[in-house]
Structure 1
Amino acid sequence: MRLAFFGDVMGRSGRTVLLEHLPRLRRRLKLDFVAVNAENAAGGFGITENICDALFEAGADVITTGNHAFDQRDEISLFDEEQRLLRPANFPSDNPGRGASMISVGGDRHVLVVHLHGQLFMAPMDDPVPALERELGGVSLGRDVHAIIVDMHAEASSEKYALAHYLDGRASLVVGTHTHVPTADAQILPGGTAFQSDLGMCGDYDSVIGMEKSGPISRFVSKMPGNRLQPAAGPGTACGVFVITDDTTGLATHIEPIRVGGRLITSQPAPIDYA
């Protein structure tokens, strides 16, 4: 299978660049499945039904979120209504929505997506490992599903690395989201699981992790809370990762970063078949 996962969509700038490039990338890379983290898509805080619909129409198959999942309070019911929209599995069990979803691809293949929330330097949350095992539920890669993808929405790279190695050989792809900065560590782990510790964001990088610069600078300098932060509105870069898996085992055979548009140096996989 040919998969792509795009990092945190930040405000209008992030939406614009991803909606512009995703249909073309889907065709050019012959993608079978696309995941998008969109927890900051609505003005930097949460997601709405209209944004979900636009991302699905552009080519997303599943949307993950994170600590800002429920920031748009008038839209919380969407998490119960839309099976392709996930909140972290280790949120309290009585929260709206679900932490995993099995998505059919072309009618005869299936991808299991599991979404988790980190514990280090984050708001207190249930242990992600028991939640992960509960969502996996004995599902075996290559036997029961054609791909397993895990989004670990976490601050600490150490926590993301530990989880990736814990899953090595059991998942097709483990990605980190949340820090809004793309890491240069895309790799295939020894057991065959593709991994990047943070995908970065889809948004304006002439910013402070996606926010207009003056607000965060003022907070750091003055130590005062200041006004509500606003997403930066300049040209965005869409950041993510491209992965190819073995059709028999579900394990990764190729991984490559994606960076298109905006300020960052472009990294665009060639539209060829990889061995």
Structure 2
Amino acid sequence: MRMLFLGDVMGRAGRAAVAARLPGLRADWALDFVVVNGENATSGVGLSPEHARELLAAGADCLTLGDHAFDQKEMLSFIETEPRILRPLNYARTAPGRGARVFAGPGGRRVLVAQALGQVFMKRPFDDPFSAVDAVLRAHPLGGAVQAVLVDIHCEATSEKMGMGHWCDGRASLVVGTHTHAPTADAQILPGGTAFQSDAGMCGDYNSIIGMDKLEPMRRFVTGMGKERFTPAAGDATLCGTLVETDDRTGLATRVRMVRLGGRLETAIP
């Protein structure tokens, strides 16, 4: 299978980049399955039903969220009606929606997508992400019950993301980090056959501070005082993510590449 994961969509600029680029990429790259992290797509905080529909219409098969999963309150009810949206596995036990789901891929193949929140340096304590992911992987063995497994690990610490990659090695097709909005250059296939990238980066304007217009974050860094709300930067966006190819028999990765298209970070894709 050929699967594309796109990192955190940031505001209007990120949504526009996905809408403009993804339909063509699905055709040009013969993509079988696309996952998009959409947790910052609405004004940089959360995802509204309207913007979720836009991303799905652009060609996403599944949308993952994150620590801002329910900052847009409409998502509390909408996620119960839209099975293509996943919130983190280890969010509050009473949270609506699901943190993992098996999707139908082309040719009868089955794709498991799961997301977990990290614990290190996060604003609130979440349940153990490793045991949460382990239970899902045990219930859906790669190469057996499912033909591909994608895990989105949404957290601050690079070490925790790498830990999740090795925890899932041999049991997932791709483990990819989100949340920091800074793409890493460590796309690799781990010894057990799982593709890994510490952070996919964001789909947004990189003439910014992690996707936000620079003025207010800089003011707070320099003075320690806030004056206005953060607003997403609205310039030309870069589409960032990870492209992985897998073996249909084992579900393990045969090739992985970082994706950076348009904007300030565009990189040639070999």
Identify the residue that residue 154 of structure 1 maps to in structure 2: 155
Q: Counterparts in 2 of 1:1-275, with a 5 A limit? A: 1-106=1-106, 108-122=108-122, 123-269=124-270
Q: How many pairs align?
A: 269
2:3 aligned counterpart, secondary structure: strand
Shift of the alpha carbon at 1:51? 1.2
Paired-residue identity, %: 55
| TM-score between both structures, scaled by the size of structure 2 | 0.97
Contact 1:257 1:267 in 2 (8 A): no
Amino acid at match of 2:161: K
Structure 1 gaps of 5+ residues are 270-275
Shift of the alpha carbon at 1:226? 2.8
Amino acid at match of 2:84: R
Contact 2:119 2:125 in 1 (8 A): yes
CA distance in 1, matches of 2:168, 2:34: 21
Contact 2:130 2:167 in 1 (8 A): no
Contact 1:240 1:257 in 2 (8 A): yes
CA distance in 1, matches of 2:8, 2:220: 23
How big is each residue's C-alpha offset from its partner over 1:99-145, in whole Å with a ceiling of 9 and x where there is no partner? 00110012611100010000000021111112112323432100110
Amino acid at match of 1:167: C
Which 4+ stretches in 1 moved above 4 angstroms? none
| TM-score between both structures, scaled by the size of structure 1 | 0.95
CA distance in 2, matches of 1:250, 1:230: 40
Contact 2:90 2:99 in 1 (8 A): yes
Contact 1:66 1:153 in 2 (8 A): yes
CA distance in 1, matches of 2:242, 2:34: 10
Contact 1:99 1:135 in 2 (8 A): no
1:20 aligned counterpart, secondary structure: helix
Contact 1:185 1:197 in 2 (8 A): yes
Contact 1:102 1:111 in 2 (8 A): yes
Q: What's the C-alpha RMSD, in Å, of the aligned pairs?
A: 1.0
Contact 2:5 2:242 in 1 (8 A): yes
CA distance in 1, matches of 2:266, 2:57: 27
Cα distance change of structure 1 residues 146 and 72 upon mapping to structure 2, 3 Å threshold: same
1:202 aligned counterpart, secondary structure: coil
Contact 1:171 1:251 in 2 (8 A): yes
Amino acid at match of 1:140: P
